[in-house]
């Protein structure tokens, strides 16, 4: 007979038991659940609610159960619904009636809130260190290719030359913000809900501060109804994960484009590429494509949680059980994506000559030519028009700017002089010597700042 069906005259219908059971996925909370129970048992003994001997028996039982689970010897039972009942029932089976004292001054409602918070806190730590690893890889690639020039794009049309390192540092910034979001999410997750009971608090003289200390929380929940029904922290993790996946997905898109024959800017290491079952020549960027694809799945998990929560009255409702698979899948997807992406970035080969050649095409110096005329006295709008006509003329002649003669230049404006040939990709880069710009000097500084921030982030993790 189930431990909690005293008021019923029969067992749950088999289909109901299967439909409502969560053990097939919430078994993953076993470490958090046991840690919470051990702290709770210690607290009950300290407060004289159970005896020291009883607490010892309970804690030994729980420790043995953790061992059983880790060795794959534990038999999870669907009819016991969830991880909490599976562990409690096994505890009573092992240590006898005293095991039944563990649930004094507690409810599964504050228990699951605790487990989820512990789980998310751990996930955040792992996420932060993996984001750090990924940023380190970006930085390493940027530093080894510090002189590599490529066309920067807007609308996917060649726009102005940039350093590859500058481009990679753009991603570094995105992941810095992602890390910040996870840090902030941790502050709000770091709240200890035990003592809330089912919804209204508990009738025993418990010590919540002790529980918080034992379990490594910096704050106590301030309202029992809120504590058992709040899953904001799950949503925040999923929202931060969604943005982080969005950033990975954008970079995936660039990896895919850049490894195409048309761009040919990079070559993926053979270990990070896949073949085709029919076309022997193919070297496909499947990892990047899967990251891009899985991003949609992570967004879906966030939408599911938001929708799940929006109509729930206070306090606990069983709907809340639906938070778990989405969270677990989000964590698994984000962590594995970061992990494989880090390896892919570290091993890809940069085809610097191809990037450079692309930067020499496409009239990416057009803005610099306009700025040149401005420095010689033209209004920017006038200069823009002149260079526009110059581009059109050059396209017609099939010439690049550097292939135009000074006489050709002068046909468009008397302001052009011999020094126009000093406008090069290099001059274009160094001219953008503004904080946050692509001038080599600025990028070198940005690389150093980024490197330093990684070290600091590591100590804050």
Write the CA distances from 313 to 48, 135, 226, 227, integer angstroms: 36, 42, 11, 13
- 219 touches 56 (CB < 8 A): no
- Among 93, 115, 97, 119, smallest CA distance to 106 is for 115
- The answer to whether residue 86 forms part of the interface with ligand ARG (CB under 6 A) is no
Provide Rg for the chain, Cα atoms: 30
Out of 155, 277, 392, 405, the active site residue is 155
**Minimum CB–partner distance for residue 84 and ligand ARG (Å):** 6
The number of residues that bind ligand ARG (CB under 6 A) is 10
Q: What angle do CA 236, 238, 242 make, to 5 degrees?
A: 115
Out of 218, 276, 400, 427, the active site residue is 276
Structure tokens at 134: 């990924």
Strand partners, 162: 150
- Residue placing its CB nearer to ligand ARG in the complex, 244 or 320: 320
Let me know if 155 is a catalytic residue: yes
- The answer to whether residue 82 forms part of the interface with ligand ARG (CB under 6 A) is yes
Residue with tokens 């990028």: 443
- Residue placing its CB nearer to ligand ARG in the complex, 82 or 178: 82
**Minimum CB–partner distance for residue 22 and ligand ARG (Å):** 4
Region of residue 107 (phi > 0: left; psi between -120 and 50: alpha; otherwise: beta): beta
Sole binder of ligand ARG in the list 35, 41, 206, 320 (CB under 6 A): 320
- Residue placing its CB nearer to ligand ARG in the complex, 83 or 386: 83
Sole binder of ligand ARG in the list 34, 92, 98, 112 (CB under 6 A): 112
Which residues in the 20-39 window bind ligand ARG by CB under 6 A?
A: 22, 26
- The stretch among 97-105, 179-187, 314-322, 427-435 that binds ligand ARG (CB under 6 A) is 314-322
Sole binder of ligand ARG in the list 196, 229, 321, 367 (CB under 6 A): 321
Distance in angstroms (rounded) separating the CA atoms of residues 276 and 157: 30
**Minimum CB–partner distance for residue 113 and ligand ARG (Å):** 9
Strand partners, 157: 154
At a CB cut-off of 8 Å and minimum separation 6, what does 97 contact? none
- The answer to whether residue 318 forms part of the interface with ligand ARG (CB under 6 A) is yes
Write the CA distances from 206 to 48, 101, 287, integer angstroms: 9, 14, 51
Sole binder of ligand ARG in the list 40, 90, 106, 108 (CB under 6 A): 108
- Residue placing its CB nearer to ligand ARG in the complex, 7 or 155: 7
- The answer to whether residue 442 forms part of the interface with ligand ARG (CB under 6 A) is no
- The stretch among 104-112, 156-164, 178-186, 440-448 that binds ligand ARG (CB under 6 A) is 104-112
- Residue placing its CB nearer to ligand ARG in the complex, 19 or 435: 19
- Residue placing its CB nearer to ligand ARG in the complex, 115 or 368: 115
- Among 104, 109, 103, smallest CA distance to 91 is for 103
Write the CA distances from 369 to 152, 184, 372, integer angstroms: 17, 46, 5
**Minimum CB–partner distance for residue 171 and ligand ARG (Å):** 37
125-130 contacts, C-beta under 8 A, 24 or more apart: 125/461, 126/335, 127/182, 127/241, 127/244, 127/331, 127/334, 127/335, 127/338, 128/179, 128/182, 128/183, 128/457, 128/461, 129/461, 130/335, 130/338, 130/339, 130/342
Sole binder of ligand ARG in the list 175, 237, 265, 316 (CB under 6 A): 316
Residues listed for the chain: 461
**Minimum CB–partner distance for residue 220 and ligand ARG (Å):** 20
**Minimum CB–partner distance for residue 316 and ligand ARG (Å):** 6
- 92 touches 99 (CB < 8 A): yes
- The answer to whether residue 149 forms part of the interface with ligand ARG (CB under 6 A) is no
**Minimum CB–partner distance for residue 109 and ligand ARG (Å):** 5
Which residues in the 40-79 window bind ligand ARG by CB under 6 A?
A: none
- Residue placing its CB nearer to ligand ARG in the complex, 323 or 371: 323
- Judged on CB neighbours under 10 Å (0-12, 13-18, 19+), 8 is exposed
Let me know if 427 is a catalytic residue: no
The residues annotated with a catalytic role in the active site are: 155, 276
Binding site for ligand ARG (CB under 6 A): 22, 26, 82, 108-109, 112, 316, 318, 320-321
């Amino acid at each position: 007979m189930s431990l909690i069906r005293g008021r019923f005259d029969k067992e749950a219908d088999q289909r109901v038991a299967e439909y409502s059971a969560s053990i097939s996925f919430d078994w993953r909370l076993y470490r958090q659940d046991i840690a919470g129970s051990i702290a709770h048992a210690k607290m009950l003994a300290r407060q004289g609610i159970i005896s020291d001997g009883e607490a010892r028996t309970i804690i030994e039982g729980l420790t043995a159960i953790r061992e059983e689970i880790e060795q794959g010897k534990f038999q999870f039972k669907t009819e016991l619904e969830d991880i909490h009942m599976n562990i409690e029932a096994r505890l009573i089976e092992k240590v006898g009636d005293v095991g039944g004292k563990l649930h004094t001054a507690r409810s599964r409602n504050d228990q699951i809130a605790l487990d989820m918070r512990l789980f998310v806190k751990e996930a955040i730590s792992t996420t932060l260190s993996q984001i750090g690893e990924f940023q380190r890889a970006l930085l390493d690639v940027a530093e080894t290719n510090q002189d590599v020039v490529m066309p920067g794009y807007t609308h996917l049309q060649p726009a102005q030359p940039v350093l590859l390192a500058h481009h990679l540092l753009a991603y570094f910034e995105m992941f810095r913000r992602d890390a910040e979001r996870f840090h902030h999410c941790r502050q709000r997750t770091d709240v200890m809900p035990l003592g809330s009971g089912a919804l209204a608090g508990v009738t025993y003289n418990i010590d919540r501060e002790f529980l918080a200390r034992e379990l490594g929380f910096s704050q106590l929940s301030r309202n029992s109804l809120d504590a058992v029904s709040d899953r904001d922290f799950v949503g925040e993790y999923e929202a931060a994960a969604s943005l982080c996946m969005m950033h990975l997905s954008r970079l995936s898109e660039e990896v895919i484009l850049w490894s195409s024959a048309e761009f040919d800017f990079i070559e993926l290491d053979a270990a990070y590429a896949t073949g085709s079952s029919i076309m022997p020549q193919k070297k496909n960027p499947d990892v990047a494509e899967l990251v891009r694809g899985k991003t949609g799945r992570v967004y879906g998990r966030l939408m599911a949680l938001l929708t799940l929560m929006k109509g729930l009255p206070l306090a606990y409702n069983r709907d809340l059980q639906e938070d778990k698979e989405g969270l677990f899948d989000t964590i698994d997807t984000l962590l594995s994506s970061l992990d494989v992406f880090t390896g892919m970035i570290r091993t890809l080969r940069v085809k610097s000559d191809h990037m450079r050649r692309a930067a020499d095409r496409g009239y990416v110096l057009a803005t610099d030519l306009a700025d040149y005329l401005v420095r010689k006295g033209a209004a920017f709008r006038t200069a823009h028009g002149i260079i526009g006509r110059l581009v059109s003329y050059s396209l017609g002649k099939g010439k690049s700017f550097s292939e135009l003669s000074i006489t050709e230049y002068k046909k468009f404006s008397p302001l052009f002089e011999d020094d126009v040939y000093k406008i090069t990709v290099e001059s274009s880069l160094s001219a953008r010597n503004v904080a946050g710009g692509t001038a080599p000097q600025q990028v070198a500084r940005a690389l150093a700042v980024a490197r330093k921030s990684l070290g600091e982030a590591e100590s804050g993790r």
